[in-house]
Amino acid sequence: MYPAPNQVLTVRDSNFIFGSTGSGSAQLTIDGIDVPVLPNGAFLAWLRVPAGDAPRYELHATRGSDVASATVPVTLRPLPTPLPDTGPLAVDRGSVTPSGTVGLRGDERVRVSVRAPANANVVLQLSDGTARPLIHGAGVAWSTDVNARDLVHAGTIVVRRGRDSVTVQTAAVVAMDAAPSRYVSLLNADVDAASDTDQVSILRPTPNGTYKWFLFPGTIVELTGMRGTSYRVRLDSQLEAWVDQKAVQFVDPAGSRPRRTASNSRVTANEQFTDLRIPVTEKPAYQVEVSGDALILTLYSTVSNVDIVNFATNDPTVRDVTWEQASSDRIRFTVHLRQQAFGWLALWDRGAFVLRVRHAPTVDAARPLAGRVIAVDPGHPPIGSTGPTGLYEGDAVLAVAQQLRAMLEAKGATVVMTRTTRAPVPLGDRPISARRASAEAFVSVHLNAYPDGVNPYRARNGTNTYFFFDQAEPLARAVQRGLVRQIGLPDLGINYDNLAVARQSWMPAILCEGAFLIVPEQEAALRDESFQKRYAAGIVEGLEEYFRSFAARQ
């Protein structure tokens, strides 16, 4: 049942509640409101969130003379501290910013803010004796922006109303440009693996934001900012990024500033892949982007001394490579391909940056899956959603994945399963096992759910498919078409999304959300083997369409 007893709800207005009466002939009320019950006993309702000092749902089910009742207590997130316009002056001390550890350049702007009554007067007193008024915003929000150097000593926010006054302190801000330069070496805090292809350090555009850069552990970068548990680091003179504190270690400042130079490069090919090998004096921060029939490699804080790029004469994948010094400390290599990229890896090997480009498979149009290696990933555990009658997502998708495995093997494919039992498999291990098995496609099988506060009777539900790298988009579209044809639920389209299992680049990788497990009718269908087979058949249909397209290019 959802919510579980004493579960913390993230909304306070309305929410869904679902579960099972155990009988489709029962009549159910929740908080006095009639709730429909499906033939299998499942129910799904959209109701006001209970209020009061002890919020709880009251459920009553009847079937003839049988009566069953249940009370489900829930926990509501506390409201912000009330700040009345009358009575003793109150200020929300926990709302003050900046707080914690903050380090910025002296001329960067810092938001100073506090929650205080709307009829108060609020000023920021700086250590030099000057005062800055805070501006009243919506509700009880007050704020102003100052230079970071103005807060190298903690500021004092003074809130006054009549004769009452309250003072609260801001955090002091470290002026990074006034301190000696500091450098850190990136670590990998998430994966315990043996090779560089599996070890990455993750950087983000904003603190705790989405993943964007996946760099080699041991890359040295300059520390330029601090905010809470995140550090800002410089990739080059034009670009900075954020990294978790736990993913860096400080290095000896003496001689630690990296000086990277790229030199004459070489392209070599074998039967499986082509390598662009670029000698670089130190590990660089980098990014690889897919653009049509090209891979664009950017090396940050690096200058070029490339005079010659040597090409293999037997290369079926890379046509040529061009480069430009995009800025004084940024090189951009463009790897021109003979067709759209199939897969790639970035490696650091004995003083060289290696961009490994995977060759497209040779496919028989009549049997496009024969000889293919397909990784099938039954999503979860850990975590995962649960349906009204208790069907767990990890169990449901494992049943679909087993049907998928049988169908793929019947068509001549070799299947790599990331799990075959109910035992949890760490999220990061799943793409690693697929890469090490040289899989040619990765399909993660999932089921969808709604977050708190979404009305399931108004929100769309159906089937959708996710991808991350551009080379996986054709596979995502093909599988989505197959799923919609086979399953018959509404087409929610395909989505670019930064999902862990879709972020691998060596093969096209997708994640399928075939149905919504919390919708009672769809949960009931997922218990039916024929529906499981249709879900699997949709994926197979899409994989066949995708790989058959390679036969036309050969």
Q: How do residues 501-536 score in pLDDT, each as one tens digit?
A: 999 999 999 999 999 999 999 999 999 999 999 999
Say if residues 321 and 334 touch (Cβ distance below 8 Å).
yes
What's the pLDDT at 374?
98
Per-residue pLDDT, 252: 83
Residue corresponding to tokens 């900012």: 225
Residue 193 predicted with pLDDT over 90: no
**Short-list 128, 116, 125, 201, CA closest to 159:** 116
Helix segments in 452-519, DSSP class H: 473-487
Q: What is the pLDDT of residues 218-269, one digit of tens each?
A: 999 999 999 999 999 999 999 999 999 999 999 987 667 888 999 999 999 9
Closest among 206, 238, 204, 245 to 223, alpha carbons compared: 245
pLDDT exceeds 80 at position 197: no
- Can you state the percent helix, strand and coil of the chain, rounding each to 5? 15, 40, 40
CA 283, CA 483: separation in Å to the nearest integer? 43
pLDDT value at residue 254: 66
CA distance 42 to 17: 11
Average pLDDT over residues 64-78: 95
The per-residue pLDDT for 53 is: 92
Note the pLDDT tens digit of each residue in 433-457. 999 999 999 999 999 999 999 999 9
Say what percent of the chain tops pLDDT 90.
93
Pairing label, strands 102-104, 121-125: unpaired
pLDDT above 90: residue 553: no
Q: Is the pLDDT of residue 13 over 90?
A: yes
pLDDT (mean) for 404-408: 98
Q: Where are the beta strands (DSSP E) in 396-462?
A: 414-417, 441-448
Alpha-carbon Rg for the chain in angstroms: 29
Q: How many CB atoms lie within 10 A of CB 295?
A: 24
The pLDDT tens digits of the residues spanning 409-418 come to 999 999 999 9
* Cβ neighbour number for residue 178 with a 10 Å cutoff: 11
The whole-number pLDDT of residue 256 equals: 74
pLDDT at 450: 97
Q: Which domains does the chain have, with CATH numbers?
A: 7-76 (2.60.40.10), 92-175 (2.60.40.10), 180-250 (2.30.30.40), 260-336 (no CATH), 373-553 (3.40.630.40)
Residue 508, token pair as written in the block = 């096209």
Rounded to the nearest integer, the mean pLDDT of the chain is 95
Looking at residue 191, its pLDDT comes to 43
Tell whether the model's pLDDT for residue 554 goes beyond 90. Answer: no
- Residue 73 is which amino acid? P
pLDDT at 200: 86
φ, ψ for residue 534, nearest 5 deg: -65, -40
pLDDT of residue 199: 77
pLDDT at position 258, please?
83
- Rounded Cα distance between 262 and 489, Å, is 52
In angstroms, the CA 206 to CA 496 distance is: 19
| pTM: predicted TM-score of the whole model, two decimal places | 0.93
Query: For residue 180, how many C-alpha atoms fall within 13 Å in the half-sphere facing its CB?
Result: 7
